[in-house]
């Protein structure tokens, strides 16, 4: 029960958890896949095509055999760069069988430049790529003089395909296959950060960490008929894929979120577990899907990655009275949630209670002193699943991780008298208008309360006298009307003249997104800066 935390010396300490004896994740995967060969592990929503545990075991073992024959072993990096498809699990599981290191890269790339730096840093031995991105990846490798083998999901005239390589092992090889015994201190995964504050960094988790992450992922595991859209470059894309199999769940593989199509998928396959971003939740509510589709099969909806509007959370609570709707707060650096709401959370907008084995403190940004309840500062965390560091980047590791194991998250927040954690804003995103601090997310929450606002991002326009002028980039709900003045007046009614939208409102057809689905604030800041220069 995560609510059995204690607070000592202004440090919230989550309940103890026995992770059991740690071991390689590959052995557990093979054991589970062998236990129920007829179980349907995944269903492709668009086609209805199914994959059983028996098929999953056969293909992942064949892939593992091929990887071992390529020399993949301890700390050798295998990359997947592909949109979600029914074969993705095989290279991931196969890498764990071989005792190698798995990493996912975003498949949403249009030129070699974004991945050249990754090629130089990672020097992967094998890259499994979608047919739409393999040429770009190959060019990036050549530009950085990195020797790597490419395998394609789909078809390509110049590279081996996934289906080519899994035909190579013999039936005897498959029958006799065993997962490698791993050194628990070897790297199991390197997961990229979102890059919202600069270049993406590679977060290293060893095999011991990965075992603990999967065993203690959340208080509400993804077991059942589950739907999520994370690709395998997200921490949830990796951990949910593993946990869904190990807990004998069924994943519904739906390639891309679309409000109407997603609701049809939930209704058709009776999805009961869903990971939904703040954008997904807001879009579903604004378009009144709960009145047009039967989504009552949903019993658990979790959201995270960015702060979710309290009205959206309440809207889901009201629409799904028999479901548990929770907001979670996590970081790639610990591989799982830091805190999670429960059915007993009193604040709908909080991130909930510190989960098992984690510790959290709020420190004064000026002097580093640990603060008590309701006093905002920087959130710092300590966890038994803490990363071993940023891959080949000791300087950045030292900036965030101290000698006592405390990680500075870069998030501003506080905990209340009930022990619930509240995340206010990324410290780097705070604005200052005439020395008055403005939280963009607080303004965004207010603007999202307007029925015509589908998505919004509040960004600073540099001003030579006042510092920052907040401007709102707004995507409207189809067929709804709202004016700039209405939204400016809405901001004044809540925050007063000092913190109003001094930069006004710019309506856009689409807000730019990063590969992980978050709004690309860096691009919007460049747009805002250009507007400032032009004016």
pLDDT in tens, 293-315: 999 999 999 998 777 878 889 99
**Using one digit for the tens of pLDDT, what is the confidence trace for 99-157?**
999 999 999 887 888 899 999 999 999 999 999 999 999 999 999 999 999 999 999 99
Q: Which of 511, 450, 513 is nearest to 484 (CA)?
A: 450
Which residues have a Cβ under 8 Å from the Cβ of 189 and sit 6 or more positions away?
Answer: 101, 102, 103, 204, 205, 210, 238
CA distance 306 to 327: 10
**For residue 199, pLDDT beyond 80:** no
Give the per-residue pLDDT at 534. Answer: 57
Task: Tell me the mean pLDDT in the region 364-378.
Answer: 95
| Percentage of residues of the chain with pLDDT beyond 90 | 75
Residue 6 β-bridge partners: 13
CB neighbour list of residue 535: distance below 8 Å, 6 or more residues apart: none
Query: Rounded CA gap, 186 and 22, in Å?
Result: 13
Residue 222 has a pLDDT of 61
Indicate whether 427 pLDDT > 90: no
Q: Which residues in 332-487 belong to E strands, given as ranges?
A: 336-340, 353-354, 359-363, 377-382, 389-390, 407-415, 421-426, 431-433, 436-438, 453-463, 467-476
Residues 160-181: what's their mean pLDDT? 96
Angle of helix 310-319 versus helix 440-448 axis, rounded to 10: 40
497: number of Cβ within 10 Å: 8
Instruction: For residue 163, report the phi and psi dihedrals to the nearest 5 degrees.
Output: -70, -25
Beta bridge partners of 274: 227, 301
Q: For position 371, what pLDDT does the model report?
A: 97
Express each pLDDT in 146-165 by its tens digit: 999 999 999 999 999 999 99
Query: What does R_g of the chain's alpha carbons equal in angstroms?
Result: 23
Distance from C-alpha of 430 to C-alpha of 447, rounded to nearest angstrom: 17
State the DSSP code for 155.
-
pLDDT of residue 265: 97
Could you tell me what percent of the chain has a pLDDT over 70? Answer: 96
Measured between alpha carbons, how far is residue 288 from residues 316, 367, 431, 454 in Å?
11, 48, 34, 12
Per the model's pLDDT, the better-predicted residue between 309 and 259 turns out to be 259
- 3-state SS record for 299-329: CEEEECCCCCCHHHHHHHHHHCCCCEEEEEE
- According to DSSP, the residues that pair with 456 across neighbouring strands are 474
Lateral strand order in the sheet of 50-52: 50-52, 40-44, 250-253, 225-227, 273-275, 300-303, 324-331, 336-340, 353-354
Most confident segment among 258-262, 308-312, 494-498: 258-262
150: three-class secondary structure by DSSP: strand
Predicted confidence at residue 4, as pLDDT, reads 85
How would you class 366 by CB atoms within 10 Å of its CB: exposed for 0-12, middle for 13-18, buried for 19 or more?
A: exposed
Strand partners, 484: none
- Among 525, 474, 527, 480, smallest CA distance to 504 is for 474
E strand or H helix that includes residue 266: helix 259-269
* Helices and strands (DSSP H and E) totals, the chain: 17, 28
| Whether this model's pTM surpasses 0.75 | yes
Write down the pLDDT at residue 525: 87
Measure Cα distances from 367 to 364, 370, 372, 376, 511 in Å: 6, 9, 14, 13, 38
Please return the burial class of 40, using the count of CB atoms within 10 Å of its CB with bins 0-12, 13-18 and 19+.
Answer: middle
Q: In the prediction, which pLDDT does 282 show? A: 87
**For residues 222-250, average pLDDT:** 91
**Is pLDDT at 344 greater than 60 in this prediction?**
yes
pLDDT value, residue 235: 93
The pLDDT score that the predictor gives to residue 259 is: 92
pLDDT at 493 over 60: yes
Asked if pLDDT for residue 47 goes beyond 90, the answer is yes
Q: State the Cα–Cα distance between residues 206 and 64, nearest whole angstrom.
A: 19
Cβ proximity of 295 and 266 under 8 Å: yes
- Please report which helix (H) or strand (E) contains residue 121, including its range: helix 113-122
pLDDT value, residue 454: 93
Residue 277 φ/ψ, nearest 5 degrees: -70, 170
Give φ, ψ of 165 to 5 degrees. -75, -30
Reported as a pLDDT band with limits 50, 70 and 90, residue 379 is very high
Averaged pLDDT for residues 394-399: 95
DSSP 186: S
Q: Given pLDDT bands bounded at 50, 70 and 90, which one contains residue 517?
A: low
Span 196-213, mean pLDDT?
Answer: 86
Rounded Cα–Cα distance for residues 225 and 249 (Å)? 6
Dihedral (Cα; 157, 163, 165, 169), 10-degree rounding: -150
In the prediction, which pLDDT does 216 show? 66
> Considering the chain, what is the average pLDDT of its residues?
92
CB atoms inside a 10 Å sphere around CB 395: 7
Q: 469 phi and psi, to 5 degrees? A: -110, 120
Q: Across the strands, what pairs with 329?
A: 339
d(CA 338, CA 331): 7
Mean pLDDT for 435-455 is 90
> In this predicted structure, what is the pLDDT of residue 217?
56
More confident residue, 89 or 199: 89
Return the minimum-mean-pLDDT range out of 191-195, 224-228, 293-297: 191-195
In the chain, what are the domains?
7-17+217-426 (3.40.50.12780), 25-37+51-183 (3.40.50.980), 431-533 (3.30.300.30)
Tell me if 35 sits within 8 A of 246, measured CB to CB.
no
């Amino acid at each position: 029960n995560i609510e059995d935390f204690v607070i000592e010396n202004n440090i919230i300490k989550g309940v103890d958890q026995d992770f059991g004896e740690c071991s390689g994740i590959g052995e557990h995967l093979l054991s589970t896949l062998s236990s129920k060969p007829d179980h349907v592990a995944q269903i492709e929503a668009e086609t209805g095509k199914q994959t059983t545990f028996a098929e999953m075991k056969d293909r992942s073992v064949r892939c593992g055999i091929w990887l071992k024959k390529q020399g993949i072993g301890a700390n050798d990096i295998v990359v997947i760069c592909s949109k979600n498809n029914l074969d993705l699990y095989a290279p991931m599981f196969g890498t764990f069988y071989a005792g190698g290191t798995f990493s996912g890269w975003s498949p949403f790339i249009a030129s070699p430049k974004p991945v050249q730096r990754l090629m130089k840093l990672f020097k992967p031995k094998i890259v499994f790529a979608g047919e739409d991105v393999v040429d770009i990846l190959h060019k990036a490798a050549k530009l950085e003089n990195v020797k790597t083998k490419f395998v394609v999901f789909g078809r390509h005239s110049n590279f081996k395909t996934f289906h080519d390589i899994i035909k190579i092992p013999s039936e005897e090889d498959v029958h006799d296959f065993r997962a490698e015994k791993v050194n628990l201190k070897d790297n199991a995964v390197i997961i990229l950060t979102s890059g919202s504050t600069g270049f993406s960094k590679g977060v290293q988790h060893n095999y011991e960490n990965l075992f603990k992450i999967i065993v203690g992922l959340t208080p509400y595991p993804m077991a059942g008929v589950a739907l999520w859209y994370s690709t395998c470059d997200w921490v949830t894309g990796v951990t949910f894929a593993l946990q869904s199999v190990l807990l004998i769940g069924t994943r519904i593989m739906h390639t891309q979120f679309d409000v109407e199509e997603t609701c049809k998928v939930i209704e058709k396959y009776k999805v009961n577990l869903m990971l939904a971003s703040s954008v997904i939740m807001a879009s579903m509510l604004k378009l009144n899907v709960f009145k047009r589709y039967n989504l009552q099969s949903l019993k658990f909806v979790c959201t995270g990655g960015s702060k979710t509007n309290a009205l959206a959370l309440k809207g889901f609570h009201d629409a799904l009275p028999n479901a548990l709707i929770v907001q979670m707060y996590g970081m790639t650096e610990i591989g799982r949630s830091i805190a999670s709401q429960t059915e007993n959370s009193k604040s709908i907008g909080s991130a909930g209670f510190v989960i098992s084995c984690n510790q959290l403190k709020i420190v004064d940004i000026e002097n580093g002193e640990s603060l008590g309840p309701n006093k905002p500062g920087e959130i710092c965390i300590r966890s038994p699943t803490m990363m071993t560091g940023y891959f080949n980047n000791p300087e950045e590791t030292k900036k965030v991780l101290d000698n006592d194991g405390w990680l500075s998250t870069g998030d501003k927040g506080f905990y209340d008298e009930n022990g619930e954690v509240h995340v206010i804003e990324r410290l780097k995103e705070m604005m200052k208008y005439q020395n008055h601090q403005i939280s963009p997310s607080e303004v965004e929450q207010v603007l999202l309360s307007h029925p015509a606002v589908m998505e919004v991002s509040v960004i600073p326009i540099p001003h030579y006298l006042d510092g920052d002028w907040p401007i709102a980039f707004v995507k409207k709900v189809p067929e709804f009307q709202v004016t700039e003045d209405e939204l400016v007046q809405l901001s004044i009614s809540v925050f007063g003249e000092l913190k109003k939208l001094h930069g006004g409102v710019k309506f856009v057809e689409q807000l730019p997104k990063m590969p992980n689905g978050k709004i690309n604030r860096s691009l919007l800041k460049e747009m805002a800066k250009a507007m400032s220069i032009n004016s």
